[in-house]
Amino acid sequence: MTNNDILRRIRYAFDFSDSKMITIFGLADHKVSREQISAWLKKEDDPSYLSCNDTLLATFLNGLINHKRGKKEGVQPTPEKRLTNNIIFMKLKIALNLKAEDILEIMDLANLRLSKHELSAFFRKPGHKHFRECKDQVLRNFIKGVQLKYREDAEPEEAQPESIQPKISTPKPNFKWNPLPRGESAPDENE
């Protein structure tokens, strides 16, 4: 996924307008114009498309953290010059103030199952022996889950109609349960 894809998906997930995007960049002490926002959100084949570099996306994510959690006093963090999916995932986690259980729930909404151990590996330092690189599919599904959870008009994936769903029947036991100790039998109902 390109930075433009990520920016586009985040914007859609939260239903941000152009002016809200400009405000979020402003919360990270960076001025942008409506034309720049529009150019970053266009598809790559559009002649007015403009590539969003790592520093700009990091600035937006820092602004999103300030927007969602409140701007801290003092010097703002400097945006990263090199972004990875792991850093983007971490910044979204911080912005939304999510715990591991919250993230797993969001991933479930997007039909991606992860264990707590798999999830924690994405947030470790790159040199750590249990560090795991966050692939595009994981980040894409996380943003989709965020959209399903936070965007009001988002609808979850449609379930298959009953006629298409496989019918699973549980076998019926061929014995009768007798809760009495061995050798004793229940009184006959006809008595």
* Tens digits of pLDDT across the chain (191 residues): 899 999 999 999 999 999 999 999 999 999 999 999 999 999 999 999 999 999 999 999 999 999 999 888 878 888 999 999 999 999 999 999 999 999 999 999 999 999 999 999 999 999 999 999 999 999 999 999 999 998 877 565 544 334 344 444 445 555 555 555 555 655 655 54
Cα 146 from Cα 154, distance rounded (Å): 10
Cα 83 from Cα 130, distance rounded (Å): 20
Residue spans per domain, the chain: 3-150
Name 11's Cβ contacts closer than 8 Å, sequence gap at least 6: 21, 41
Name 14's Cβ contacts closer than 8 Å, sequence gap at least 6: 146, 147, 150, 151
Q: Do 150 and 13 contact (CB within 8 A), yes or no?
A: yes
Question: Which two tokens mark 131?
Answer: 């560090």
Q: Is 79 exposed, middle or buried (0-12, 13-18, 19+ CB in 10 A)?
A: buried
